[in-house]
Amino acid sequence: MRSIRGTTVTPILTTLAFAAAITGGVLFGQRHPNLRVTTHGEWVKFTNAKGDSVRAYVAYPERQGQAPAVIVIHEIFGLTDWEPTMGDHFAAQGYVAIVPDLLSSKYKSSDAVKDSATKLVSSLPNESVITDLDATYRYVNNLPATQKDNTGVIGFCWGGGTVWKYAATNPDLKAAVVCYGPLQDTMLLRTIKAPVLGVFGQNDGRVTNMVPTEQRILGSQFVADSYLGTGHGFLKPGRTGSGTAEAQRALNNIDAFFAKQLDHK
């Protein structure tokens, strides 16, 4: 395993400049007619190890001193207007939240993606994804607002599956939350150091069938629950079980997990 601590050059794209860049409402294949940021939210660009630029949304908390960080990984549909709202949610809980667009380092404009985000995300090489997440980790850890090396990660759907991969390659992570993310290789579990929370839909057997194996290998390092009446993707509006008491319970459990593992005060 490797450590990715270090520094990086981080040119910043301000909220206003980025908003101007996406006038017309399209960001990497997804329409954003009502995209809004919080008072403390901004869009940024930073460079990965290959010299490519990665776009991300960063949301800052209102609190004294430095804060832990949370990396939010989007679904297979690419970065939509929902993921920044999750960044805002975690900022409201007291974290510096960063939401990288994992297509942005390979596709320099929305014209290159248009309506093909799902296909392009599913075809991203693992190396490219990990390189961009490493850059995201470095960026957020070098912000003055952030506590060094006190960072967790959460992902949804494809992003949840990516959490398994990233937690297996970054031993510096302090917490990992897998939201209905498929596990492609059980060998990944043997190199994960961070505590893992699994959030699964009751009716999502394609993913939940792996939970016993995950539990057996990770042991007490892994805590998981499935939520009654929910399906795949239920934390996102419009999915089976979204907006229910069970979805809220899942979000409460995620918040409690990060609060415990990141020593949040």
Flag whether 2 is in a domain: no
Flag whether 246 is in a domain: yes
Span 188-204, average pLDDT? 98
Flag whether 216 is in a domain: yes
Is the pLDDT at 71 greater than 90? The verdict is: yes
Cβ atoms of 167 and 186 within 8 Å: the answer is no
Q: How confident is the model at residue 39 (pLDDT cuts 50, 70, 90)?
A: low
pLDDT in tens, 4-38: 443 333 333 333 333 333 322 334 333 333 444 45
| 178: Cβ contacts below 8 Å, ≥ 6 apart | 155, 160, 161, 163, 164, 196, 197, 198, 199
Is the pLDDT at 115 greater than 80? The verdict is: no
Is the pLDDT at 1 greater than 50? The verdict is: no
Flag whether 9 is in a domain: no
pLDDT in tens, 218-251: 999 999 999 999 999 999 999 999 999 999 999 9
Q: What is the mean pLDDT of the chain?
A: 86
Q: What CATH number has the domain bearing residue 170?
A: 3.40.50.1820
Q: How confident is the model at residue 131 (pLDDT cuts 50, 70, 90)?
A: very high
Span 93-102, average pLDDT? 96
The full 3-state SS of 116-137, as one line of letters, equals CHHHHHHCCCHHHHHHHHHHHH
Is the pLDDT at 98 greater than 70? The verdict is: yes
Number of domains in the chain: 1
Per-residue confidence (pLDDT) for residue 60, from 0 to 100: 95
Per-residue confidence (pLDDT) for residue 240, from 0 to 100: 97
Flag whether 5 is in a domain: no
Span 183-202, average pLDDT? 97
Distance separating alpha carbons of residues 16 and 36, to the nearest angstrom: 11
- % the chain with pLDDT above 70: 83
Q: How confident is the model at residue 3 (pLDDT cuts 50, 70, 90)?
A: very low
* pTM for the whole structure: 0.86
Per-residue confidence (pLDDT) for residue 108, from 0 to 100: 73
Flag whether 46 is in a domain: yes
Which residue range is the domain that position 32 belongs to? Answer: 15-261
Per-residue confidence (pLDDT) for residue 263, from 0 to 100: 79
Flag whether 179 is in a domain: yes
Per-residue confidence (pLDDT) for residue 34, from 0 to 100: 42
Flag whether 122 is in a domain: yes
